[in-house]
Structure 1
Amino acid sequence: MTTKEIAQKYVELNRTGQHMQALEDLFAKDAVSIEPKGTPTEHAEGLDALKKKNEEFATMVEEMHGMEVSDPIVADNFFSCTMKMDVTLKGMPRNHMEEVCLYHVKDGKITSEQFFYTPPSMN
């Protein structure tokens, strides 16, 4: 698959709540994930670690009120999109989170993802 095809499939899967399927289908076994400093998992390496990070986030969610994923922007071996979540995390007030997501594709698989956002205060 081309970077554009991977980007479109990634967005499609995430729009329908199939986050784990996106990991299974589109990510390299040695993929890396980078989150902002101060988040529970700033760095994860390997597909199993990315799945675990995704599962841990799911356990923090009390209620997902809505999620939007923009169309991807593709350039060379990279694509980006924005994600917006209207979410209530356990023990916290309802929050509107917005992030820029950047992905690198090599040999038909996503090899890295990096998220840019201001983490909610965990207090």
Structure 2
Amino acid sequence: MSIQEIADRLVELCKAGDFATAHAELYADDCVSIEPDGAPVKEVKGKEGLAQKGKQFDEMMEVHGFTVSAPIVADEFFSIVLGMDATFKPTGQRSNSSEIAVYEVKDGKIVKEEFFFRPQGSGM
């Protein structure tokens, strides 16, 4: 698949809420996922790390709505904007947030994803 095809497929799967298929189909076994400072988990490695991060997210958040932009592709990278309406389960606080996600592709697989947003309560 081309980088554009990978980006389009990721957007399709994210819009459907099918993150497990996205990870299985599009990510390299040794991929890296990086969150900003202040996020509960800063970095995970590998598909198992992605699965654990997803499980932690599901335990902490109740998602009411999710949006995904069209991808922007440049060289070996693409970016999307993710929006979310969710409630933080431990506090019951509901909020709307958005973030920019940047993905790096090598040999037909996503090898790195990095998310850019201000974690709530980060004081930034």
Short-chain TM bin: over 0.9
TM-score (norm 2): 0.94
Residue 121 of structure 1 and its aligned partner are, at CA, apart by 2.3
Unaligned runs of 5+ in 1: none
Query: What stretches of structure 1 move > 2 A for 4+ residues in a row?
Result: none
Counterpart-to-counterpart distance in 2, 1:88 and 1:65: 8
CA distance in 2, matches of 1:22, 1:111: 13
Q: How does 1:70-85 map to 2 (within 5 A)?
A: 70-85=69-84
Measured after TM superposition, the shift of residue 47 of structure 1 is 1.1
Please provide the CA RMSD for this pair. Answer: 1.1
- Distance in 2 (CA, whole Å) between partners of 1:64 and 1:36 is 20
Report the alpha carbon displacement of residue 20 of structure 1 after superposing the two structures with TM: 1.1
Quote the offset at 1:120 in angstroms: 1.5
The residue aligned with 2:52 is: 52
Percent identity of paired positions between Structure 1 and Structure 2: 45
- The 5 Å alignment of 1:15-30 reads 15-30=15-30
Report how far residue 92 of structure 1 moved: 3.5
TM-score, with normalisation over the residues of structure 1? 0.95
C-alpha separation between the residues in 2 aligned to 1:16 and 1:70? 13
